[in-house]
Amino acid sequence: MAGARLVLMRHGQSLGNEANLFTGWNDLDLSACGHEEARRAGRLMRAHGLRFDAAHCSMLRRAIHTLHHCLDGLDQPWLPEHKSWRLNERHYGALQGLNREDTIARYGQEQVQQWRRGFAVIPPEVEPDSPHHPGNDPRYAMIPDADLPRAESLAMTLERVRPYWQDTLLPDLRRGRSLLVVTHGTVMRALISHLDGLSPEETQTLEIPTGTPLVYGVNEAGTVKQMGHL
């Protein structure tokens, strides 16, 4: 397929992944393994001859630092960067910061699995005075309070991400501009679901590896075709 390239990538392993936490919008950095995964991804994209016109990522440091490692590996550290809360990980509400095994011990395997992967299942909401409420974080001060999540399902994450695809990413791709998007596991599920036309059942079972570029081709008509992981 002639035209632009879109590369979607989940950040490298985070400290939250390493500790088996519900991380969500909790702003944890990459683990030592995650830093290396990100550097390796940048070198891999360069070896495959990928070049980009702009880069996009979330407002969370594990995605930002992954992007910077990738840009160094690509020898494109000067590339324009765009950060958006719409590319943030799913907000896990009151589960954020909790260890998954401890949560299973408290609520049971079935309930926790529903919170994690149920397409429309919403975890318990975070309280307004919690440090995990995005309204208490200055980086989100310009976002209307009504738009800030207190907890999200996978379906809600898809609705949050879709406008960014439609209004920001797709117009650039149609103009032939290739884009690198570094984001999070649930946002990857949402984007892949939208681009590949997956059902809710297919979407909630997607496994997204850390630090692994997924390449799409996009033509001038906006037709998107998955070309696979590098």
94 to 6, 124, 185: CA distances (angstroms):
34, 5, 19
Q: Is 89 annotated as a binding residue?
A: yes
Q: What is the pLDDT of residue 116?
A: 87
Q: What is the pLDDT of residue 1?
A: 55
pLDDT, mean over the chain:
95
State the amino acid at position 117 in one-letter form: R
Tens digit of pLDDT for each residue in 151-174? Answer: 999 999 999 999 999 999 999 999
Give, as one character, the DSSP assignment of residue 19. T
Q: What is the pLDDT of residue 51?
A: 97
Kindly tell me if the per-residue pLDDT of 118 is higher than 90: no
What pTM was computed for the model?
0.96
At which residue do the structure tokens 């519900």 appear? 22
Which among 65, 89, 152, 184 is annotated as catalytic?
89
Q: Is 226 annotated as a binding residue?
A: no
110 catalytic per annotation: no
Residue ranges of domains in the chain, CATH in brackets: 4-229 (3.40.50.1240)
Q: What is the pLDDT of residue 222?
A: 85
Which among 11, 65, 132, 133 is annotated as catalytic?
11
